[in-house]
A = this chain, B = another copy of it.
Amino acid sequence: MKFRHELAQQLRVDSIRAADAAGSGHPTSSMSAADLMAALLDGHLRLDFDRPNNPRNDHLVFSKGHASPLLYSCFKAAGAIDDAELLTFREFGSRLEGHPTPALPWVDVATGSLGQGLPIGVGLALTAARLDTLGSRVWVLCGDSEMAEGSIWEAFEHAAHYRLDNIVALVDVNRLGQTGETMHGWDLKAYSDRARAIGWHAVEVEDGHDPERIEAALNEAETTRDRPTVVVARTRKGKGVGEVEDLPGKHGKPLQDPAAAIEELGGARELHVKVSSPETVGTPHTFATAQEPSPVFEVGDAAATRKAYGQGLRALGSRRGEVVALDGEVSNSTHSEQFREAHPQRYFEMYIAEQQMLATAVGMQARGWIPFASTFAAFLSRAYDFIRMASISRAALNLMGSHAGVAIGEDGPSQMALEDLAAMRAVHGSTVLYPCDANQTVGLLEPMADREGICYLRASRGATPVIYGPDEVFPIGGSKTVRKGEHVTLVGAGVTLHEALDAAERLAEEGIRARVIDLYSIKPVDIETLRLAAEETDGLVTVEDHWPEGGLGDAVLAALAEAGASVPVTKLAVTAMPGSGKPAELLAQAGIDSAAIVRAARDLVPGSATR
């Protein structure tokens, strides 16, 4: 226990030194949790720093990502990084960023947006328990401020529901948030009562700086079965240094007198802690596969792309054992129920908790699984911060949002995604797909599974005509010119592609030959095909079931600008708040149906009124 105290003091000293070298950072938030981490490193964590990809490793997630000086000081104490690197904290080019990211091999996921580490930890624990089926444990260091985030409670609910006894949340109750006291101050019972009500085992540690008490709590956590454990530890922010200890206004800044502080902590130490490794390198469980062919839809039939998604995903899951599915309690709407029925062990019900759904997917992909998570496209907006952070985690995952746009009809605007293309395009490294028929939808699933980054597939509620044969290939970044023409170009995707095809028919009757481009890959976008259309036709009409900003139309304009192409473009999109109604009524009201396209196209073709 003496060693642990010394180790904790070293972690404090190194946190102070790192922040001092950087000129910024969060030493006081690190110092409160130093004793918890010293105990964890010295006898509880099982992490082979030399083999960071050993599936049997425990996972250490700093949900309070701003305590990164503490995390990096732990890595130094464990011998994973050296002191010189520690002092590159927050420097340009250093992998020791202000908040942890997977630039470091021992960091599974990026944190720094509070309330995300614990939900992702639940995803990692679920992966260890139900997919890898290895004995990995997940240790999550939480701040007390972040306990106010609803996502924390989604994590608590799901961990209890899935009876995950392989996750331990360590809550560093240092009482002080960024601007003042938290809602619950040092009331440990406030936290443990909530956790127990939800079904967790809760251990209160009245003195979170007492190695004996911490040791007892961690042992209790490790031996608790059938339920997760939270250790709620009363700590002091800036513990050990009079300049900052338990004082307001000391958040997120280096100490004023680091030398004095280090002396107060007993000076610098060069302790090394031998962190245990798992006994062996683990082999994760794999699921049996079968050569189930993808579903095929007949050209000329009609089918909803969401239905094709479900059927296609089931078949993909049969062929690829690493594919898993999650849904936000709408699997009969997204048709992910098809996957659930065929592969129940690889389907995870996330109930109506979209943030936890994303977090779980992020945790699963961190271990190499290929998650497909689905809900109404509108409700993916609930998890937008998780999607944003997933891109910082360099996560590879697949999202399907169904019921996009006014075309859903009667349910009204709360259920209509009209901002999803903009939101998803603005995620770094994302892929945004919007198929118009069932075979196209199926054809996009395997490329999604094999792709890096966050892939988003927008699906429609209603049935749309099948226009592509089952052998057609749809490369990501491509497009399909589904009708030739040299007067004007109509660019659509999803439901509006069919409106564009109808419009082209009607324009043909007037002698206007419209080219129709199916822009199923909205990001990356097929610049060359758009450039050719700009060159070869008099103008482009883009049409999308989406607000005018940031969607298909803006993607086309950006592509044309990049290509240096100059051509009149008329952008049709939803401009007024819709209500309920029949899909056709709402498409017409929004000015994105075939009649509106015909009008816009006519205006772009010189002399077309007299043609």
Contacts and interface: CB of A to CB of B under 8 A. Distances in A.
Given A332-B178, A564-B568, A428 B577 contact: yes
B414 A378 contact: no
Interface string A512-540: 00000000000100000000000000000
Contact of A149 (B93, B353, B551, B582): B353
A505 interface: no
A555 B548 CA distance: 10
A579 B92 contact: yes
B418 A428 contact: yes
Contact of A384 (B197, B381, B523): B381
A416 to B, nearest CB: 9
Interface string A151-170: 11110010001000000000
A596 interface: no
Contacts of A198: 194
Interface centre among A418, A425, A561 (most CB of B within 10 A): A561
A487 interface: no
Nearest to A380: B385
Contacts of A146: 352
Nearest to A423: B423
A580 interface: yes
Interface stretch (A36-44, A111-119, A288-296): A111-119
Interface in A98-152: 98-99, 101, 103, 110-115, 145-146, 148-152
Nearest to A119: B150
Contact of A411 (B24, B418, B564): B24
Contacts of A353: 148-150
A351 interface: yes
Contacts of A425: 422, 549-550
A585 interface: yes
A193 interface: yes
Contact of A580 (B94, B349, B385, B577): B94
| Copies of this chain, count | 2
Given A145-B352, A419-B423, A554-B557, 10 more contacts: A92-B579, A92-B586, A94-B580, A110-B413, A150-B355, A194-B194, A382-B384, A548-B558, A550-B550, A557-B558
A113 B352 CA distance: 10
A182 B161 CA distance: 11
26 contacts: A23-B410, A90-B412, A90-B581, A91-B581, A92-B580, A95-B579, A97-B413, A98-B411, A98-B414, A101-B579, A113-B378, A113-B379, A115-B352, A146-B352, A177-B351, A178-B330, A179-B329, A179-B330, A182-B351, A183-B351, A194-B198, A197-B197, A419-B426, A548-B558, A549-B558, A550-B550
B579 A94 contact: yes
Interface string A330-370: 11110001000000000001011101100000000000000
A91 B580 contact: yes
A427 interface: yes
Given A177-B329, A412-B99, A549 B549 contact: no
Contacts of A558: 548-549, 553-554, 557, 571
A99 to B, nearest CB: 5
B93 A388 contact: no
Nearest to A328: B148
A415 interface: yes
A582 B92 contact: yes
Nearest to A417: B388
Given A351-B182, A381-B388, A151 B150 contact: yes
Contacts of A568: 561, 564
Nearest to A586: B92
Contacts of A101: 412-414, 579
A569 interface: yes
Contacts of A349: 180
A410 B579 contact: no
A29 interface: no
Contact of A579 (B97, B178, B413): B97
A566 interface: yes
Contacts of A451: none
Contacts of A391: 577
A110 B413 CA distance: 9
A419 B150 contact: no
Contacts of A480: none
A233 interface: no
Interface centre among A103, A182, A391, A557 (most CB of B within 10 A): A557
Contacts of A153: 150, 153
A582 B554 CA distance: 32
A22 interface: yes
A389 interface: yes
Interface string A543-578: 000011111011101100110101011110000010
